[in-house]
Structure 1
Amino acid sequence: MPDFALSPPVPAPTLADRLALRERPLGTPLLRQEWKELLFLHWPVPPDLLQAHLPPRLRIDTFDGQAWLAVVPFQMAKVRTRATPPMPGTDEFLELNVRTYVHLDGVPGVWFFSLDATSALAVWVARTFFHLPYLRADMRLDSPSAQLRQFAARRTHGGAPPAHFRATWKIGAPLPPAEPGSLAFFLTERYCLYASNKARTKLYRGRVAHQPWPLSAAQVLHYESSLVESHGLPTPSSAPLVHAGGPVSVELWPMQQV
């Protein structure tokens, strides 16, 4: 019988690797923006399930052997380039992403299955210059009270699998800063994003910089969504781990092929 050699395991990033990414990159960022009214919904998922949906060189990042899948609605504000001020009508929009956590060559980051957005211009820019799978969608965010948020979305992008999302949540008390090495740190302290071309023959990595997330406790009062299923992934069976977050001021650097 033929002798098949197994590929050696890829070492996971160390805590030192993760902390090093908090340092702001050199040079001038391409974009500046603010992320606010954010809700992190996280589910534990078997690593092999998500690994099968990634480009070959990327590896699922795990915490205590467990991978995580997230659905994240939020509001983008004060969006501008490094050379221009915010432009009314294009500087604020809603976004909703489905994501997991990956690493490459010791650099941890975020992999997006999709990013739905209400701004057609933002979708075009992100798809063209950042290689990110942005999709157009109709969305609405309401704030019936200081603590209550309601978010609804329906994907409208031509040719993309249909998807919808509705959630109502109550924001609770502020949480202490995420301790390095904790699960909250693993899930929220992410300063790189990864993308690929359509053929998945090229990988790109981009840096982001912001202060550590200000997190709050949150309670989900209502949730319904087909976002995860639109990517051929099974419906999460457990209740999500929930955090509210923001606002944070964010800088983004150009994507580089890796």
Structure 2
Amino acid sequence: MPDGAENSLLERGDHRPYPPPEGRWALSMRWHDLLFMHWPVGYDALRPLIPPALDLDTFDGSAWLGVVPFRMSGVSPRYLPGVPHVSDFPELNLRTYVTAGGKPGIWFFSLDAHNPLAVRLARATFSLPYYDAAMSCRPHGSDGVDYRSVRTHRRAHDTRFTARYRPTGPPVEAGDLERFLTDRYCLYAADSAGRLRRGEIHHDDWRLQPAEAEVSELEMTGQIGLKLPDSAPLLHFSRRLEVVAWAPRRVGS
């Protein structure tokens, strides 16, 4: 990302709950065709799955579980261009929401990616639970997306996701729940020794659209020993977002 574009993006920060971190970002990327699928779940079901140093975040007494398919492009370190077929790939994550030190963030149970290099770099540098997967993310019609993911990582729990989704209206103003689910400008991860790390990000405010989805395969939560609620998920769509990320830092001593 050129310096001018970086400065412009970082200046647009009034929507954030706290300022972007000091220092230069390390990685830039674009996110495309995101579908947010969210279910409320019981606090006691998720609390044992989260490190003790993190507080499980709740909204109206419920924790939330999210499945988010999307596509990444232009993933590249600072001052380096993206490389076709290396910097562009689909990704699918299973997540919940946590907080530490006054900074609400995301806890990823898993991230599947169609890029073996990205999987290994993210595991080594960010301590994130990335997994190899065979994936496709293709346009459908004028505004829809056909998405499929099957995990192929050796000795990893099976996950599958197949869906067709699309926005059903123009962007709408986010309410309190939508902001709780999306206004997250950091992620948390734990290394092999259990040490907590925080990776901070910045982007413009989300342009969320109502969405619909036809889901034919959804096996994402067996890996954490949970079953998704029978209720229909809360759905949102976002077409594109420019993102910068800082190198992860230790949280606490």
User: With structure 2 as the length reference, what TM-score do the two structures score?
Assistant: 0.90
State the Cα distance separating 1:148 from its structure 2 match.
1.9
Structure 1 pair 100/74, CA: closer, same or farther in 2 (3 Å)?
same
Q: Do the aligned residues in 2 keep the contact of 1:170 with 1:221 (CA within 8 Å)?
A: no
The amino acid across from 2:64 in the alignment is: W
Q: Do the aligned residues in 1 keep the contact of 2:39 with 2:228 (CA within 8 Å)?
A: no
Could you list the per-position Cα deviations for residues 170-207 of structure 1 after superposition, in whole angstroms to 9, with x for gaps in the alignment? 2211222324xx100100111010000134x2100010
Kindly name which structure, 1 or 2, has the bigger radius of gyration based on alpha carbons.
1
Q: Mind listing any 5+ residue stretches in structure 1 that lack a counterpart?
A: 1-17
Q: Which residue of 1 aligns with 2:91?
A: 95
Q: Which residue of 2 aligns with 1:197?
A: 191
Match of 2:136 among 137, 140, 156: 140
Q: Which residue of 1 aligns with 2:106?
A: 110
The amino acid across from 1:242 in the alignment is: L
- Cα distance in 1 between the residues matched to 2:122 and 2:90: 14
Whether 1:214 and 2:207 are equivalent positions in the alignment is yes
Moved more, 214-223 or 54-63: 214-223
Whether 1:164 and 2:165 are equivalent positions in the alignment is no
Q: Which residue of 1 aligns with 2:40?
A: 44
Alignment of 1:1-258 (within 5 A): 21=17, 23-179=19-175, 182-199=176-193, 201-258=194-251
Q: CA RMSD in A?
A: 1.5
Structure 1 pair 22/134, CA: closer, same or farther in 2 (3 Å)?
same
Could you list the per-position Cα deviations for residues 30-58 of structure 1 after superposition, in whole angstroms to 9, with x for gaps in the alignment? 10000011000000001111111011111
Aligned partner of residue 183 in structure 1, secondary structure: helix
State the Cα distance separating 1:167 from its structure 2 match.
1.0
Q: Do the aligned residues in 1 keep the contact of 2:15 with 2:205 (CA within 8 Å)?
A: no
Q: Mind listing any 5+ residue stretches in structure 2 that lack a counterpart?
A: 1-13
- Cα distance in 2 between the residues matched to 1:95 and 1:89: 14
Percent identity between matched residues is 42
The amino acid across from 1:256 in the alignment is: R
User: With structure 1 as the length reference, what TM-score do the two structures score?
Assistant: 0.88
- Cα distance in 1 between the residues matched to 2:123 and 2:31: 19
State the Cα distance separating 1:63 from its structure 2 match.
0.8
Q: Do the aligned residues in 2 keep the contact of 1:147 with 1:172 (CA within 8 Å)?
A: no
Number of residues paired by the alignment?
Answer: 238
State the Cα distance separating 1:224 from its structure 2 match.
2.1
